Amino acid sequence: MYDMKSLYEAETVQDAIRLLQEHPEAQIIAGGSDVLVQMREGKRAGAELVSIYGLDDLRGVTLEEDGTLWIGSLTSFSHITQDPLIQKYIPVLGEAVDMVGGPQIRNIGTIGGNTCNGVTSADSASTLFAWDAVIELTGPVGVRQIPIRDFYIKAGKVDLQPGEIQTGILIRKESYEGYAGHYIKYAMRNAMDIATLGCSVNVKLTEDKKRFEDIRIAYGVAGPVPMRAVHAEEAGRGLEVTDENIEKIGDTVLKDVTPRDSWRASKAFREHISKVLCKRALREAVKRAAGYEGYAGVTGADGADEAGDAAGGRNEAASEAVRPGTQVHSIMTDPTSQRQYKLIRCRINGVERETMVDARASLTDMLRNDYSLTSVKKGCEVGECGACNVIIDGECYNSCIYLAAWADGKDILTLEGLMGPNGELSDIQQAFIDEAAVQCGFCTPGVIMSAVEILESGKEYTRDELRKLLSGHLCRCTGYENILNAVEKTMKKRLGKE
């Protein structure tokens, strides 16, 4: 159970604003990968929460009539990476958010939550700085737009006014047309780690590809908030594209970055890699700008056709001022205990279920306690180990940081649901036995559920790609190679490539 005072579920943007006004001490929860972890750590213990998780109007990417890309604040990292508009116009953003945590975190984490938490290490933030992103905020007096550089006030604090929520992130056409970029994250591990330093670079070359027409260099963890290296940018504009000039630009970033000493890295080390990462990112961005033409010729009509959505066709409810209305919420309070409950209906392992859940309960709590699905393990309970991993509507999630109240209307699959009517094992379960991929067995159910998502895609992955797709799991027995063998062999068998 989470130590929360109350949970209010918003059903529209206007409803969320009203709830924030009625409960001024309440905090917004979007995907929960930050808020619930901090609550578990005691940092937000006893908080009132307004959940906007169900506001599907704030999900997705669309192209406005003027060529502006609008990214809904509730769009998950994995959906940003896979979105065709992102891949066509600003692929570096998809690459950056694909470095957040592990696959389960990327399925639940939202770009709005990543920017609104105000931390300098957010993988999306430095890249959004490099794209001159604009933050769309909706509140009691309507909509306001603010450049991302002004949105960050200080460490852990952003410019959200009382009653406001972030509804979108805008990338103007002039900010991406003709530009190419690259993001580099330096961390101790390749997954499930916070950046020691992040550097995102965008370049626009002259028509003959020989000079820098424009350069944008942005950093995370190089100061208390994400920042731009404005002196280095100015030094590089107009210069010829040469190794010597790239070295010069990279050395100039020390006029801007202000890293600190921490247990992750010293100030001196961060200053050193600030220069190194800038030079590496610049070189890669130049290669992309010189050889990739997908950034040019953006038009509202063409982009709309490719996106399968009318230009400017996003739900305009997010852009309207708050309207009065009669809103009935499904969270109910027990007057004798002040506890809140919600009646949810969902499908678990192919069976329709209906149950009353405590608003404080995680999906792990519900699956284990109400339905005795003990394959869902309680491990770290902060979304790091992957032992509680289940599949929800076809995607993997750490059920420990997924509220049971959010399960309403969902299709949930656990390890028990893989077995046949007489207890027959599925092919991936049998493969884990055949390849000795099972040791103590505690983490195994969660790993197998990730394997199910991988296999159901019907795609063929390289071994390195499989490593990344399984990176959201920690196995204390360190049987990773055997796990890879089991997944790889099952994949090839299903594809007829044994």
56 contact partners, CB below 8 Å, separation of at least 6: 74
CATH for 339-494 (3.30.465.10, 3.30.1360.20, 3.10.20.30, 3.40.250.10): 3.10.20.30
**DSSP per-residue string spanning 443-479:** SHHHHHHHHHHHHHTT----HHHHHHHTTT---TT--
- The pLDDT of residue 337 is 57
Q: What local confidence, expressed as pLDDT, does residue 338 receive?
A: 60
pLDDT digits (tens, 9 = 90+) for 248-295: 999 999 999 999 999 889 999 999 999 999 999 999 999 999 985 433
Q: What is the pLDDT of residue 473?
A: 95
Q: Which amino acid is at 154?
A: K
pLDDT value at residue 479: 80
Residues of the chain with confidence (pLDDT) below 70 = 292-330, 332-338
**Could you tell me the residue ranges of all domains in the chain?**
1-174+297-321, 178-293, 339-494
Check: CB of residue 56 under 8 Å from CB of residue 63. no
pLDDT at position 232 is: 98
Whether CATH 3.30.390.50 fits 178-293? yes
Candidates 358, 355, 330, 357; CA nearest to 345 is: 355
pLDDT at site 200? 98
Looking at residue 384, what is its pLDDT? 94
Q: Evaluate whether 178-293 and 339-494 have a shared fold.
A: no
Residue 263, SS3? coil
Summarised one tens digit per residue, pLDDT across range 114-172 is 999 999 999 999 999 999 999 999 999 999 999 999 999 999 999 999 999 999 999 99
> 366: which DSSP letter?
I
What are 90-94's contacts with CB under 8 Å, separation 24+? 90/131, 90/171, 90/176, 90/181, 91/294, 92/127, 92/130, 92/180, 92/181, 92/182, 92/183, 92/200, 92/202, 93/124, 93/127, 93/128, 93/131
State pLDDT tens for residues 211-233: 999 999 999 999 999 999 999 99
Q: Is 167 helix (H, G, I), strand (E, B) or coil?
A: strand
Fold of 1-174+297-321: 3.30.465
